Chain A
């Protein structure tokens, strides 16, 4: 199953467990570092401290995580069923994730573990680190994104990952999105006291019980209706468009396409209707129309070049409604609507 299939109650239970296990994960991290003779003084939750942390962790990984039990299970295992192959690596990466959380707390504002259910039409039910940027913008980093990235690194050890600066660079330029000014502030913060020494001086927190799904799962969309058998991915682009070079296709009139999208009541991932600004903001902006279709726009050079209409699970009627709407604007835009290999 996936996190999106968790009930809201289970998603919150999972989040609470992730939050609750932080002290133990940090204690274990401190234990491993001390056992390997790494000075704990330097681990002050600063950006700079991520370098010795990553240098140690790469060696720990290359040594196949000595001290991590053979039957170690990451917290998400009952949900994701990842299997033994990645279990120990994933389990070990949880220590790093919790240290990253401490770095985030020191670097940003109002940092907290949250359940990511912010999307209007959908609930991903994932545990995420939420943080507030200096300018007030709220960002989120999925827990799974963090552990997954670390796992990906471990599965494909590569020179760039072996760079001790990798984790700090990834923190500032990859996962925790922030402005250049904020990055500069974070990087120039003075070093502080170790956060691991006092943790290790205390009592080791008890291990939490493994996560158990209590159910019931979030109801999935039902599809009692007839399927549209002729549905396929369609491209809407200028008649002269070269499918292999859509980036330079003659531009489409954005206002006309936008009107069509709004009339079809498509929404973005956050549940918002498309706007001229949202379409132009990304090379690929994605919208869905309920469970009928995903509609993506391609923008280069601030020009709308093409639209892709991909069926999700439409009925013949809804599929016809969508394709008819685009067919209606082919003539005024000198465009066509067809499978891409017909261009």
Chain B
């Protein structure tokens, strides 16, 4: 069985077998969660998990990347891979480096993965999104996915609404991996 078969794609945020969030650190913005659920289903995926495969809070960004490796058999390593991307800043084309948590090509389609642990909202995240928007418009068929995992330190998960809007408007798929109990 492929690892992905262990998960059921689901349109709701229920978790069948909740576990406790980090004590005292659980901090989910319900308005944000509601906005997540109202997004175009073609751009957003929520996974619910069986008890055996229930995701955990992640202790670091690297842990999120490792979790991605378990989800997608085509991802054979969790090392960062680099690309260059041209973006326009103030009318000037500028070369930037983009490091991806995972990348592969299958059937001529390029797949790029970004794993984020915790809340993602800063100007640096926006700069990363800018690169991905340019990447999405680059030649060739592409699938770009941002996967969000909950932080084991803060209990937080997901992008800010401005980040989310920019991702979805660019056609970038957003995937939420809510740990059990995070939405109770």
Contacts and interface: CB of A to CB of B under 8 A. Distances in A.
Q: Does A associate with B in a complex?
A: yes
B74 interface: no
Interface residues of B, number: 46
A72 B50 CA distance: 47
Contacts of B141: 82-83, 85-86
Given A82-B139, A86-B140, A223-B79, A294 B62 contact: no
Contacts of A149: 137
A223 B78 CA distance: 12
Contacts of A235: 122, 124
Nearest to B154: A341
Interface in B15-31: none
B139 A294 contact: no
Contacts of A313: 79-80
Contact of B86 (A84, A85, A142, A312): A142
Interface string A226-238: 0111111101000
Interface string B104-119: 0101110000000111
A316 to B, nearest CB: 11
A271 interface: no
A124 B84 contact: yes
Interface in A108-149: 124, 141-142, 144-145, 147-149
Contact of A90 (B91, B97, B139): B139
Contact of A147 (B60, B63, B139): B139
B111 to A, nearest CB: 12
Given A232-B60, A310-B99, A313-B79, A340 B124 contact: yes
Contacts of A177: 91-93
A165 to B, nearest CB: 16
Interface string A1-37: 0101000000000000000000000000000000000
A82 B107 CA distance: 9
B62 A308 contact: no
A147 B139 CA distance: 7
Nearest to A74: B139
Interface of B: 59-63, 78-80, 82-84, 86, 88-89, 91-97, 99, 105, 107-109, 117-125, 127, 137-141, 151, 153-154, 156, 160
10 contacts: A83-B140, A144-B138, A227-B62, A232-B60, A246-B123, A308-B124, A312-B82, A339-B117, A339-B118, A340-B121
Interface of A: 2, 4, 76, 80-86, 90, 124, 141-142, 144-145, 147-149, 151-152, 155-156, 173-175, 177, 223, 227-233, 235, 243-244, 246-247, 269, 282-284, 286, 288, 294, 296, 298, 305-306, 308, 310-313, 339-342
Given A223-B79, A284-B124, A298-B123, 4 more contacts: A84-B108, A148-B137, A244-B122, A312-B99
Q: 9 closest pairs, A vs B, by CB?
A: A83-B108, A232-B61, A82-B140, A341-B119, A341-B118, A152-B137, A232-B60, A308-B124, A148-B139
